[in-house]
Structures are given as C-alpha cells and as structure tokens.
Amino acid sequence: MEELVRLEDVREAAAGGAHLLWAAQGRHDGRLGPGVRAWRHGTALAVASPDLSQRDRLAVDGAPADVTHLVRHVLADLGPTYRPVGPAPLIEAVTGASPVLAPVAEFYWMETSALPPGSPSPGVRWLDEVQVKEATSLFDRFFPDSYAQPDDDGPHRWAGIVGPLGDGAPPEPLAVAADAWSAADCGFLAGVCVHPDTRGRGLAQAVCGFVLDTLIRRHGRAALMVHEDNRAAIAAYERLGMTKRQFGVAQAVSP
C-alpha cells in the first residue's frame, strides 16, 4: 500500500475517475484539499476526504480484491466515520468480502464535461449576500434535508432566479442551486431547490444549466449526486447533458 501525497499522483492513479478527483478536492495550485489523504494498492485507489458534503467520504475504485484490501487498511488508520463510496457493483463486492462493512444506500452519480445545450437563462444570476440569506427560508420550508444550505460554509456561491410569486408580491428567490465543494478537476452542483408554486416553468433546469456552464468552463467537468427515486430531477439533468451511474455507499459495522 502506497500513500500518495501529490495531486499529480492522484490524478494519474484516478485515470479520469471524477468521484476520485472530486474527493481529492484538489486546488489549482496543485495541492490536495485540507485533510485529504490518498492511497494506492495494485489497481485500487482510495481517496479520504473529511467532511465533504457533510460526510467523511472514502472514494474508491479498482478491482474488488485490491479495493477490499486497501479499504480494510485505510479504515484501520482513519477510523469508522469514513464511508467507502464508489460504483455500486464494486461496493457490493467489497461489502460482501468484508465482515466489518455493510451497504448503506445507493444513488446516482451524474457528471458531464460538455457545456449544457442552449444559452443559460438571462434571468439567472449569482446571488448577493442578502439574496442568499433570503434563500434560507426556501430550504427551511421545502428542502430541509439538503446537504448544501445557504447558511453553511460548504457552498462557494449560489445562483438563482429572483422574482415575485404573484402580482404585487415582493421579489424572492424562486429557484436556486449552488457551486458547492468543487475541486480543481471537478466542479460540483448541489442545493437545487425550487419553490413548488413555480414548478413546470423550467426554473430548476435554467438555474442548473447556468451553474453547470460555469463549473465546466472553470473545472473541465461537473458532477452531482441525486437519489434514484428523484426522476424529475434526473430527467432535467439528463436534458442538460449529464450521464448517470449507479453508486453505492458502505459504512463500518461491528464484526
């Protein structure tokens, strides 16, 4: 098992794996993100990223036997708070071979390196500090479980559409999305929230297209995580050119 300390080495070992590069939280100056550690064993790569999108995450990929060996040693070093995450068949194989790991959930990892079709809506813009605070109530009412919240430190910035819900109503954030936990090699979209009274108007797709356009131009690619049962969101992301891949998450349990 070899620990990798340079972003350049992690990039080489990741072979383009977006979830691995995202977990590395690489900086544009060539450093790994704060607290990030990475290891290689045979075909396997594991990247440990603390408090990334509200979790201690251990992004993995490679042959199942190599990943199982690597995860066992890495978790012995890091502790049980880190959750292995990677392609669903790999996580299934790793948990099946390890009595100290159990599957937790599955989701879709979606990514793209192509600019979204069409021009971003002219009604979308980056929100100022006051508008971001106003968006807090949108999440309190309609998306309290979002990992990205306007009053958290994780998101770098928020984009949104601001306007009145009806005639005579004061303007307020109607749809928002965040540039959150982005890394040098992979931008990350999170915190998509839309007022239910505006659904069907394409606001979410407009906001997401705006953020994705920015992320891809800066980082070369963009990704997000979405629950498998959120079909409307998945369809909207696919219309923006994103492709989905089923991922799994595991956690340490008592043997």
pLDDT digits (tens, 9 = 90+) for 67-83: 999 999 999 999 999 99
Check if the beta carbon of residue 160 is closer than 8 Å to that of residue 131.
yes
User: Which structure tokens are listed for 237?
Assistant: 């992301």
Please, which residues bridge with residue 180 across strands? Answer: 155
- Residue 220 buriedness (CB in 10 A; 0-12 / 13-18 / 19+): middle
- Predicted pLDDT at 154: 75
pLDDT lower than 50: segments of the chain: none
Please, which residues bridge with residue 62 across strands? Answer: none
pLDDT in tens, 178-227: 999 999 999 999 999 999 999 888 899 999 999 999 999 999 999 999 99
- Predicted pLDDT at 169: 75
Check if the beta carbon of residue 86 is closer than 8 Å to that of residue 215.
no
Q: What letter represents residue 148's amino acid?
A: A
Distance CA 166, CA 163 (A): 9
- pTM, to two decimals: 0.94
User: Which structure tokens are listed for 57?
Assistant: 């995450």
Distance CA 14, CA 18 (A): 8
Distance CA 180, CA 115 (A): 18
User: Which structure tokens are listed for 50?
Assistant: 């603390």
Distance CA 212, CA 114 (A): 9
Cα angle at 244 between 149 and 96, to 5 degrees? 95
User: Which structure tokens are listed for 74?
Assistant: 């890495």
- Predicted pLDDT at 7: 96
Q: Tokens 């980056």 — which residue?
A: 126
Beta strands in 26-154 (DSSP E): 37-41, 44-52, 55-61, 83-87, 101-112, 125-126
- Predicted pLDDT at 153: 79
Q: What letter represents residue 165's amino acid?
A: L
